[in-house]
Amino acid sequence: MKQEEIVQKTVGFVKEKLDGDSSGHDWWHIYRVWNLAKKIQKKEGGDLYIIEMAALLHDVADWKFYADESEGLKIIHDWLINIEVQNIDIEKIIKIIKNVSFKGAGVKDQMETVEGKIVQDADRLDAIGAVGIARTFAFGGKFGNEMHNPDIKKQHHHNFEEYKNSKGTTINHFYEKLLLLKDRLNTNTARKIAEERHQFMEIFLKQFYDEWESLK
């Protein structure tokens, strides 16, 4: 099977898997990450096929939706075997997916390849800016987080377990993750895209606090 056909079959697979998601991790999130990854690849290089496949599949195994991350990774592995992706490519795709997620402010990123760095950057870009704000509130509502509570303090998570098990507010999530992402991007192309998106979040937060205190 040709690489282009494998990519298109994977598009259909992911659409079916994520259909109806209301947490901000739906097909349209994947669509944006896929497009951003291709855009970054044009400037930064890397194997486009590996980048596309990892971008398309990265949230099928997201740890937030499985008690055990290995469950999601097995679904991806089985799919790649089913469509006859070469073993060496499966290893590359799975390795990217395992390391793509943000896992806490105090946890270092483990991405090594240019392909992985591009997919990670594309995913993080979709977590900031106007769409990032919308996705954050969608996620918080889906999982029962308070929108804002001044009595709940922001946290600096030192390890993945702390981050995974935290039950903070949606506004605190900006400080615990979203506002940190601009400085944790890998590529110059992504950093340039991030500037405006980051500034938009800062403007939003100022307006939010002004309205919260009835200053505006």
* Alpha carbons 99 and 198: distance in angstroms, whole number: 23
CB 48 within 8 A of CB 93: no
CATH number of the domain to which 8 belongs: 1.10.3210.50
* Alpha carbons 14 and 6: distance in angstroms, whole number: 12
Tell me the two tokens of residue 105.
């402010």
pLDDT tier for residue 72 given thresholds of 50, 70 and 90: confident
> For the segment 185-206, what is each residue's pLDDT rounded down to a tens digit?
999 999 999 999 999 999 999 9
Picking from 188, 186, 32, the residue whose alpha carbon sits closest to that of residue 100 is: 186
Per the structure, the complete domain to which residue 158 belongs is given by: 3-212
Which pLDDT score is estimated for 131? 97
Tell me the two tokens of residue 108.
């270092």
* Chain centroid to CA 143: 17
User: Residue 49: what residue type?
Assistant: Y
Total domains in the fold of the chain: 1
- Residue 83 has a CB neighbour count (10 Å cut-off) of 14
Q: Say which range, 38-52, 114-128, 163-177, 202-216, has the weakest mean pLDDT.
A: 163-177
